[in-house]
Amino acid sequence: MGITKNHIFDEYQNETANITKVLGHPARIAIIQHISQHEYCNCNDLVEATGLAQPTVSQHLSEIKKIHLLTQKHQGKNIFYAIDLDVLNQYRRKINDFFVKIQVNCQK
């Protein structure tokens, strides 16, 4: 049905999948990379960098925003995006811990 049965999985499983799902598209990986490499990065920069149309980039940005990985600063007509480092680090640990737990379980 294209519809995920979230209710049959626990919070940890859903949260983990929500984060990795957002990272599960090369355009979003590229967007996150580009923002991290350019201090004042707006939507047009990302359109140029990725080669995708502006609405497509905007859509991907909104997915990334949903998990609070981005901050935005309005400056005139521009919106400059940046990575929320606290959130990034939290997710880094969360995903790494997932892998480590799997590994530890296997070795019992």
Binding flag, residue 106, a copy of itself (CB under 8 A): yes
Contacted entry of DNA, a copy of itself, none for residue 55, CB cut-off 5 to 8 Å set by kind: DNA
Whichever of 25 and 68 has its CB closer to DNA, that residue is: 25
For residue 70, what are the β-bridge partners? 83
Give the per-residue SS3 of 1-66: CCCCCHHHCCHHHHHHHHHHHHHCCHHHHHHHHHHHHCCCECHHHHHHHHCCCHHHHHHHHHHHHH
Contacted entry of DNA, a copy of itself, none for residue 99, CB cut-off 5 to 8 Å set by kind: a copy of itself
Tell me the CA end-to-end span of the chain in Å, nearest whole number: 37
Binding flag, residue 62, DNA (CB under 7 A): yes
Contact footprint for a copy of itself (CB under 8 A): 4-6, 8-9, 13-14, 16-18, 20-30, 32-33, 36-37, 50-52, 82-83, 85, 88-89, 91-92, 95-96, 98-103, 105-107
